[in-house]
A = this chain, B = another copy of it.
Amino acid sequence: MAEKTQQTEDLIKETAMRLFFQKGHINATTQEIADEAGVNRALIHYYFRSRDLLFEKVLHETLGATREKIDYIFSSQDTLYNKISRFIDIFIDQNIDYPYLENFLVTEMVKNPDKVKELHPVEEKREKLRRILEEQIQEEIASGRIEPISIEHFMVNLMSLCNYPLIAKPMVQNFFGYDEVGYKKFLLERRNVVLQTMFKQPNFSENIK
């Protein structure tokens, strides 16, 4: 029973994730989600009470998982170069799985600006990570491996280079005439492109972990 419950509940969640984040069908109705999952529409209300609550749950779980991975990376003792390298991997992987997550996120945040805050880590943790990162960036700047830049711009650069190509998939595809295979290849190339763009000269001594 608890098994079947979990089965159906997960099925609905996974289907919603697929529709929202993979297919970009942000306005998917409860009926569409139910059809796609092959369950009765009322079950969505049975398990999640309302469409909005389903949204919220799916969103929080997905972001929570990502955040954990990122916190783990930036809390580690690794070099900045390696941290960034790992960050890129995670973001590009996630974006290959859920190309429309970012886009969806923004749309949702505009609807409910209050909920933005819940999605971010607690102040102390953020501050701690910020200090570590700040220090490492200053080191890199001092040794000339990156140009002088604020931590804000550095992070926004990083996120931009990783995320935008996924968000803008239809445009990039059409603009350069990529089919699905070509586009995936392009995405995988970005791993190195982003690293190269963030660090003026790849530092091989640091690259060896």
Residues of A participating in the B interface, judged by any CB pair closer than 8 Å? 23-27, 100, 102-103, 105-107, 109-110, 113, 116-117, 119-120, 126, 147, 149, 152-153, 155-157, 159-161, 163-165, 167-172, 174-176, 186, 189-190, 193, 196-197, 200
Instruction: For the complex, give the distance between the alpha carbons of A172 and B165 in Å.
Output: 18
Q: Chain B residues near A159: list those with CB within 8 A.
A: 164, 168
Q: Chain B residues near A169: list those with CB within 8 A.
A: 106
Q: Chain B residues near A116: list those with CB within 8 A.
A: 170-171, 174
Instruction: For the complex, give the distance between the alpha carbons of A25 and B112 in Å.
Output: 11
Most chain B Cβ neighbours within 10 Å, of A23, A116, A153, A172: A153
| B190 with A153: CB separation less than 8 A | yes
* A27 and chain B: residue at smallest CB distance: B27
Decide: A157 near B197, CB < 8 A? Known: A167-B164, A174-B117. Answer: yes
Instruction: For the complex, give the distance between the alpha carbons of A155 and B161 in Å.
Output: 11
Q: Chain B residues near A106: list those with CB within 8 A.
A: 24, 100, 103, 167-171
Instruction: For the complex, give the distance between the alpha carbons of A25 and B117 in Å.
Output: 20
Q: Chain B residues near A25: list those with CB within 8 A.
A: 110
Instruction: For the complex, give the distance between the alpha carbons of A159 and B167 in Å.
Output: 11
Instruction: For the complex, give the distance between the alpha carbons of A136 and B77 in Å.
Output: 41
Q: Chain B residues near A170: list those with CB within 8 A.
A: 106, 109-110, 113, 116
